Amino acid sequence: MQVKDYIRTIPDFPHEGIQFRDVTTLFLDARGFRMAVDQLLHPYAGLRFDKVAGLEARGFILGGAIAHQLSVGFVPIRKAGKLPGKTIRQDYALEYGQATMELHDDSLSPGEKVLLVDDLLATGGTAEAGIKLIEKLGAEVISCAFIIDLPELNGRKRLEDLGMKVHALCEFEGA
């Protein structure tokens, strides 16, 4: 089996016309989960990272496992109001409106090398907000890793236009 085979599609969630790609079925299967983590790490063999940053919420699951494998720290990037202590903020556009991501202001040091992780790359807005937060603290995003890329939504191009390397395990057509 391939990673894509473990992912279920739920039609019309959270809105009519959306094909929701559900990675929780991948996380439920020990073999599938290990395969995904190993494949997410594969292109980075021999590279040094100081931290792994995960985007809320499924990026926490992946990011924690990857940080463990790399023996580095994990940095959560959360929706506004979820982190205690002093944070920095980055707004980003949603399909209808705006949202804000936050990062503890002491979670990264200048010059640290970071791998940014999430389950799915759609428009790239959340990932771009995460990149900007990391860079505000003087750290450097070496690459962005995702299980799923939705190429029709152009998130990969958006991140590559920012100079980012993007690694995704599989693609699904449609939004």
Please identify every residue annotated as catalytic.
58, 95
- Which pair of structure tokens corresponds to residue 152? 């029709």
Beta-strand pair 19-22/8-11: antiparallel
Consecutive H or E run containing 34: helix 30-41
Report the sign of the C-alpha dihedral through residues 74, 148, 159, 91, in that order: negative
Q: Which residues contact 90 (CB under 8 A, 6 or more apart)?
A: 100, 101, 102, 103, 129, 130, 132, 133, 136
**What are the angstrom distances between the C-alpha of 9 and each of 5, 91, 149, 175?**
10, 29, 14, 11
CA distance linking residue 51 with residue 168, whole number of Å? 19
- Cβ atoms 135, 114 nearer than 8 A: no
